Amino acid sequence: MNKVIKPSNLRAFVINIMDRCRKHSLMVSLKIKIDMTRVLERKKTTGFSLYTILSKAISDVIKGNPRYAIINSVFMKRLIRSRLIVFEHHHFSYTFPKIFQGEEMPITYVINNVDQLSEQEIDKKIQQASSMPIEDFPSFNMLKIMSSIPDLIQKFLLFIYDFLNDPKERDGSICINNLGKTDVHSFIAESSRTVIFAFPGIDHNNQCQLTLTINHYVIDGKLTCAFVDEVKKKLESL
């Protein structure tokens, strides 16, 4: 017999976060195959995580070409006076799977000023976040509150939260999702940032099908293709 199951408050919160992202974005995705051999070699010789190596490479590409500055941004869509915030420094967000109230969920962690950090400094912060208990994440208190209240109140509070909080502290300016060595060969991530990198599993030939999702309100296909091509060249020539 079929059962109708109401989502938990926690799952409703995840749904509302995704809805919020879509309100600020007109998302378009493109895929490009990348040979990750040099990345994996660097990971082996340095001990750095994939997140670290990818972050440093992407930040260097943006920093190296002024026309990519607009990529480091967040678009805030409003009924009146929408605004695009282009950040001076690179604030990268990552997701880490954590257990909360018996459910596994991705929780966001932002590292600020990645463009001013060395690989060692980036890796230290990522390793700390990876091993950090969920209670120590900056967004934990909000998660705890939101998971205890009904769906409609969540929507209202998220609306207020958008106005009162610094988007770089809340979401970062660039998002990287990485699945590492898995059998998933493609996935699309969503976010309120202008660009979101989704690195799926790396196959036995060290190939990775990178999906780059952009906010078409902010940038067009021509700039995106030039940018992702430079990222590809950077990663394949480390």
- For the chain, the structural domain boundaries read 26-133+166-236
Tokens of 156: 């209202």
Residue 191 banded pLDDT, cuts 50, 70, 90:
low
Closest CA to 107 of 74, 130, 73: 130
Specify the pLDDT at position 62.
Answer: 96
* One-letter identity of residue 167: P
pTM: 0.81
* Predicted confidence band of residue 165 (pLDDT cuts 50, 70, 90): low
Task: Give the residue-averaged pLDDT of 96-122.
Answer: 90
Q: Which of 27-31, 60-64, 182-186, 199-203 has the lowest mean pLDDT?
A: 182-186
The pLDDT value given to residue 192: 58
What average pLDDT does the segment 44-70 reach?
95
Range name among 18-27, 35-44, 71-80, 121-130 with the lowest pLDDT average: 18-27
Q: Is the pLDDT of residue 184 over 70?
A: no
Fold designation for 26-133+166-236: Chloramphenicol Acetyltransferase (3.30.559)
In the predicted structure, residue 183 carries a pLDDT above the cut 70: no
pLDDT of residue 28 exceeding 70:
yes
Q: How confident is the model at residue 181, as a pLDDT?
A: 47
- Give the pLDDT band (50/70/90) at residue 19: low
| Residue 35 or 210, more confident | 35
For residue 187, name the pLDDT band (cuts at 50, 70, 90).
Answer: very low
For every residue of the chain, which 3-state class applies, written as one string?
CCCCCCCCHHHHHHHHHHHHHHHCCCEEEEEEEEECHHHHHHHHHHCCCHHHHHHHHHHHHHHCCHHHHHHCEEEECCCCCCEEEECCCCCEEEEEEEEECCEEEEEEEEECCHHHCCHHHHHHHHHHHHHCCHHHCCCHHHHHHHCCCCHHHHHHHHHHHHHHCCHHHHCCCEEEEECCCCCCCCCCCCCCECEEEEECCCCCCCEEEEEEEEECCCCCHHHHHHHHHHHHHHHHCC
Q: Confidence band (pLDDT; 50, 70, 90) for 6?
A: low
Instruction: Please state, rounded to an integer, the average pLDDT across all residues of the chain.
Output: 82
Residue 117: closest CA among 43, 63, 198, 190 = 63
